Amino acid sequence: MAKTVGVLVLVACGLLWAFNGSEADTALAGKKSVVIEAVPQPVPPEGRPVADARPLPDKTEGAREQLDAAGPASDSGPTGAEGRAARVRALLSQASSLEAAGNPAAAAAVLQEGMEASSTPAEAARVGFFLAGLAGSPAESRQLLTGALRQGVVRGGEYERAHELLEQLNRSTASSLAGLTDFGDYVVQPNDSLWKLCNKTFPREFGVSPEVGLVQMVNGLSGTGLRVGQRLMVPLGTVTVEVDRRQNGLVAYLGDVALVAYRVGLGKEGRTPSGSFVVEVKLTEPTWFHGGRQIPYGDPENILGTRWLGFENHPGATGYGIHGTPNPESVGDNQSMGCVRMRNAEVEELFGLLARGTTVNIP
């Protein structure tokens, strides 16, 4: 019970705040040649589609009566867009109070009203971010989170909340992705293994080569064991990564749908390069080359953590990538020499989802 109250208070605080408002680190690559301490020259990022923030159907039966008892938000004040924005703020505050009081159904109805009252897609997506945890179904929750992340309205530490919500949804991935992205259907045959399926069978039968970790995630598999006759969802969408430079966040999308989100560290003094990069090298327990030295994994001076996802070099931007860190407290800040820095457990999860050739966009 105490844990539940704590979560409600945390979300309530976020709602009240809602509208106030490299490292040329280098790893031992496959060709064992890296460029150290590069000075990035920004490359214009490619354009990105923005997902619609559609209001959800009202699935909070009886909640409207509870709202009347709690007292309606005021309709007085400025008119037009300014008035609608003020009303949305009032509704967010009201929803915060209702949720903190243990009335999530009424809070969800208020947030739904806030989406309908919003004057812009970004404003609706912002309200939708807080509604996601109260949505009527896992698919609706993931759709709301996707809209908020695509619209860039998730702020700073709220990426931790986005990570928690998506982590919960990924425990029932089939239902939370239903109808939102495309899957093939495969029945496990004798002598099948996940490695064989991802590297031979799926490319031949579906034209895709998903990573083993991705197949495990979308099918809720905790290990690599398969049984004959087992049905597997085969992810047909492309995995892409978007880095939110302003808010120190990272999102991996499967097709157009948010799959995972993380808080990340970026380069001090704006050293993280802009552009559209491609994952070229994947290394476990990477060695770091720095200052003419080879610093092995496990050495206290090795800053790369447990995984390295190295980008293909660009003119003026070489030796960059995504990696773990022995200093998890630095995640969320701009302390690196330019790379994207993650907590070790989280970069290990991301490592299992991204194939070589994955696009990483950094605006």
Catalytic residues: 323, 339
Cβ(266)–Cβ(336) below 8 Å = yes
- The reported pLDDT for the residue numbered 307 is 98
- The reported pLDDT for the residue numbered 314 is 86
- The reported pLDDT for the residue numbered 58 is 39
In this prediction the pTM is 0.79
- Which residues of the chain register pLDDT less than 70? 1-80
Angle among Cα 7, 259, 210 to the nearest 5 degrees reads 145
Q: Give domain limits for the chain.
A: 2-21+50-157, 182-235
Q: For residue range 75-134, list pLDDT tens digits in order.
A: 444 556 787 788 888 988 999 999 999 999 999 999 999 999 898 999 999 999 999 999
CATH 3.30.1360.170 fits 182-235, yes or no: no
